[in-house]
Amino acid sequence: MGEHTTTRPPVFSVVPGAAVHRSLEGRRAEILDLVENAYRLHGAGHTVNPPSYFLRFPDRPASRIIALPASVGGEVGVDGIKWISSFPTNLELGIPRASAMLVLNDRVTGYPFACLEGSIISAVRTAASAAVAARALTAERGAPRRIGFIGTGLIARYLHTYLSELGWDVEEFGVFDLSEEYARSFAGQVLGADRGTAVRVHSSAEELIRSSDLVVFATTAATPHITDPDWFSHHPVVLHVSLRDLSTEIILDSVNVVDDVDHVLQANTSVHLTEQRTGNREFLHATLDDVLTGRFTAPADRTVVFSPFGLGLLDLVVGANVHRWATAAGDATTIDGFFHDLDRYESAGAR
Ligand SMILES: NC(=O)c1ccc[n+]([C@@H]2O[C@H](COP(=O)([O-])OP(=O)(O)OC[C@H]3O[C@@H](n4cnc5c(N)ncnc54)[C@H](O)[C@@H]3O)[C@@H](O)[C@H]2O)c1
């Protein structure tokens, strides 16, 4: 045995969805803090977050699988990758559109040490990042009383949960979805649980936008379908989580805050289309980190649009903590011998 072969790879474990779910229960405030801190680490240059890679299929144009590798330094200290697929036809099969797994790699050896169910972590980090943004972007104008959801799938459900954590006194929730059936079941099953808050299912996106102080877009629209800036004349805050709903006219008429400039200006997002149209980036006012650190204050008298591309580093930060919590609770499944051939010159089978 060579002198450098005494270190063993870290223990490898799998954290299934049920364990991920249990780990996250009762920790929403903590997750909001973790995600906010992750943006600050990113802003301070303690992360590596290369462009996401979109795997597409000529024979299945509506589907995709995205790879989001990242590295987070500072006190988090983890490398890894999220591998998330979106197959919209899954809804017809009665299962969620997106599925994902998250792999965490050891900082010292590079060995993967955990594989986690990733779709819950992805939804949680998306919802938490939008809630962190919503809190910061409404600081000047005060908490919204009327919150509207356009697109009522899984992401909207998690967004509602994390926005609820902010403790706002909400008067009315509005809902609109291309599918009235989805809108009605979201209104009943998700928002109906918020006793004391009125819930209204709208018959058009215009009606919903005009009657909301905070508008959440969580659709699967591939191209802009909301085109009239006048619908925003009351200057709401817009959480543009689905990224491709708003026309360039609306983007140009708004104050634009993004998570990461280079990331969000790709893949035909509304802000990417706006960059293509104008040939510049001057319509982008700030990153979320600028807002969190006080370098930029979102005005109360303009429409403010937050467009988060969704950074892999957020999945890693939430995933590393879920792994830690699940392991401490005895809820992670250890796979003994996952890495088998660990001697460089002697095959394990020959011993
Ligand atoms: N930015 C990020 O970090 C991030 C992260 C995760 C998901 N997302 C995006 O969030 C979106 C929602 O994800 P999901 O898992 O909830 O999807 P989902 O398929 O479960 O739900 C989407 C809903 O939007 C509705 N819809 C589609 N087009 C619409 C339109 N033009 N107007 C109104 N409603 C419309 C559908 O009927 C459906 O109910 C996706 O676009 C996804 O890519 C973004």
Taking only the tens place, the pLDDT of each residue in 95-154 is 999 999 999 999 999 999 999 999 999 999 999 999 999 999 999 999 999 999 999 999
- Comparing 318 with 7, the larger pLDDT belongs to 318
CATH superfamily of 13-121+312-347: ornithine cyclodeaminase, domain 1 (3.30.1780.10)
Report pTM: 0.95
Contact indicator for 258, 307 with CB cutoff of 8 Å: yes
Q: Where in the chain is the domain with CATH 3.30.1780.10?
A: 13-121+312-347
Give the C-alpha separation, 243 to 237, whole Å: 14
Give the integer Cα–Cα distance in Å for 188 and 169: 19
pLDDT in tens, 325-344: 999 999 999 999 999 888 88
CA separation for the pair 172, 149 (Å, rounded): 11
Separation of first and last alpha carbons in the chain: 13
Q: Which of 173, 167, 162, 180 is nearest to 200 (CA)?
A: 173
pLDDT greater at residue 265 or residue 342: 265
Q: Could you please report the per-residue DSSP string of 157-223?
A: HHHHHHHHTT-----EEEEE-SSHHHHHHIIIIIGGGSTTSEEEE-SSHHHHHHT-SEEEE----SS
Atom 33 (ligand 1) nearest CA: 177
Where exactly does CATH 3.40.50.720 map onto the chain? 130-307
pLDDT tens digit sequence for 23-69: 999 999 999 999 999 999 999 999 999 999 999 999 999 999 999 99
CATH class in words for 130-307: alpha beta
Could you give the dihedral angle defined by the CA atoms of residues 321, 266, 42 and 105, in that order, rounded to the nearest 10 degrees?
Answer: 40
Residue 299 near residue 257 (C-beta atoms within 8 A): no
Segment 262-278 shows an average pLDDT of: 97
Pocket test for ligand 1, best of 189, 219, 264, 307 (most atoms within 8 A of CB): 219
State if residue 156 touches ligand 1 by the CB under 6 angstroms criterion.
yes
143 lines ligand 1 (CB under 6 A): no
Contact residues for 278 (Cβ-Cβ < 8 A; gap 6+): 248, 252
Residue 96 alpha carbon to ligand 1 centre in Å: 11
